[in-house]
Chains A and B, each alone.
Chain A
Amino acid sequence: MSPTALVAEDEAPQRRELCRMLASRWPELQIVAECSDGSAAIAALHAHRPTVAFLDIRMAGATGLEVARQACNMAHVVFTTAYEQHAIEAFEVEAVDYLLKPVTVERLDRTLQRLRTRLSEAPKDIGTVLEAIRQGFRCARSADIPWITASLGNSIKLIATEDVLFFRADEGCTWVITRLEKASIRTPLKELLPALNPDVFWQIHRSVIVRVSAICAVRRNELGRLEIALHDSEEVLPVSQAFRWRFRGM
């Protein structure tokens, strides 16, 4: 039985070129699916069960990494990428096959040679390397989110974290308040907090996170409770017992 292949690449000229190169360098390889996005690739993977899957990393629908997770035990995976430093380092360590775009004949030959020798084996489990890449992307992303996508009426608006005065949780949603706007997000404060710089934002109440530089005054109200007045806002924010230590000495 001749080996089969799936090629997933969102840019049509590049997809055709890879298929053409495969046809000339490995004529026995039968290309059973050419996909222009990740979701189509997942569907084709299950429908055709190809021996080899060539997956572009950046695609609409699902990324090449997501497709690979599905392909793990079905097909030998070869990633294609133009420039994904982080992923390439991980591939090198785990000896996962990848092709750098533009693909050269010499490099393709080496990959195909390796694939031919592996055909009799079961596809390699690349779960660990995929997990490592996912973690890496997440790490690069987590600390200090610069932007927040929030709902403003029926629209969605990108708000710079630098513009946020405070966050307030209220009945299952979190309000994001800037000098000019009040928008809402679905992320609870508890999940939001680790993503904010702890020197810039302080939690002062179970339901309030405030930008430190927005604090204008801390005072005691007639009931003896601490509360905060802000620059650029009329709002007065409560400080709960648990967070009083931040303002010790008052």
Chain B
Amino acid sequence: MHRLIGPGGLAFGLLLWLPLVVAIAWPVAVLWERRVEGRHQREIAVLQRRRQETNLKLLVLQAQIEPHFLFNTLASLRALLREDVTRAEAMVDALVRHLRAVLPVVRTDCAASTLSDQLVICASYLEIMANRMEGRLAYGIDVPQPLLQTPFRPLILLTLVENAVKHGIEPKVGSGRIRIEAERIMDTAGFAVAVRVIDNGVGLSRSVGQGLGLRNVREQLALCYGNRAALSLVSPPEGGTIACLQIPLDGFELI
């Protein structure tokens, strides 16, 4: 015959086993939790990276061709067709070059873009604008050869150049010029490339407007480089505006 365990005996048994159960289960639970947490964190990191990439693609998309630019260029072209076929031809060529460089940006790998690619885009834009503004705009690009292959995000530089034309030279009565220059600099975090767009236009004023383009540039820089990249716009006392982009070189070896 079995003897029934009384309530007192049950309590005694639990008292004996409980510490043992806790001693085994606790580390297991903690380890399990850490594992799950680790997996969650990895998943979160992947999702965050994916979101960052999507955001970047979106920002590049938003920086695409401005309709105002396209229609005005076509209007100038229409005029030149009748009065100067050679110039019209040069303008079509520059426009095609520009569109070829700007339009496929979303499909290609943004990380593969170099400073040299971006200067080509800026040059075709400036050529078109100089042609449209007929003598009111002169420009120059001065970038040392070794810096040309620096990785450089697409369309950021073009935004600064467009701003120099739109807010610097176009509102100026008379003519102006734009210069793009670059140099390698050393700051606290290491080597960086500083690219400057310098114009002698009307300077910063309340007419900066919404500054949507600049906001886009800032967001792209923040997403890509955190606080290691910088954008600054200054109008010195002698007039005009200097837009400066500073981007970390991150182990990029100069040839």
Binding site for B on A (CB under 8 A): 10-14, 16-17, 20, 37, 39, 58, 60-61, 82-84, 100-103, 140-141, 146-147, 149, 152, 154-158, 160, 162
Contact = CB atoms under 8 A, between A and B. Distances in A.
Top 7 A-B residue pairs of the complex, sorted by shortest distance between their CB atoms: A17-B79, A82-B71, A154-B237, A158-B233, A13-B79, A102-B75, A101-B75
B237 A147 contact: no
A187 B237 CA distance: 20
Interface string B213-237: 0110010000000000000111111
A157 B133 CA distance: 27
A149 B71 contact: no
Contacts, number: 103
Chain A interface, DSSP helix/strand/loop, else mixed: mixed
B232 A102 contact: no
B170 A155 contact: no
Given A103-B75, A146-B211, A157-B232, 5 more contacts: A12-B135, A146-B215, A147-B208, A147-B215, A160-B218
A16 B80 CA distance: 10
A39 B236 contact: no
Contact-residue bracket for chain B: 35 or more
B159 interface: no
Contacts of A10: 133, 170
B173 A154 contact: no
B209 A141 contact: yes
B76 interface: yes
B74 A13 contact: no
Given A11-B132, A13-B132, A146 B71 contact: no
Interface stretch (B11-19, B37-45, B48-56, B198-206): B198-206
B62 interface: no
A149 B83 contact: no
Contacts of A39: 173
Nearest to B242: A155
Interface in B60-111: 67-68, 71-72, 74-80, 82-83
Interface in B232-255: 232-237
A39 B68 CA distance: 22
A156 B234 contact: yes
B170 A158 contact: no
A141 to B, nearest CB: 6
Nearest to B132: A11
A117 to B, nearest CB: 27
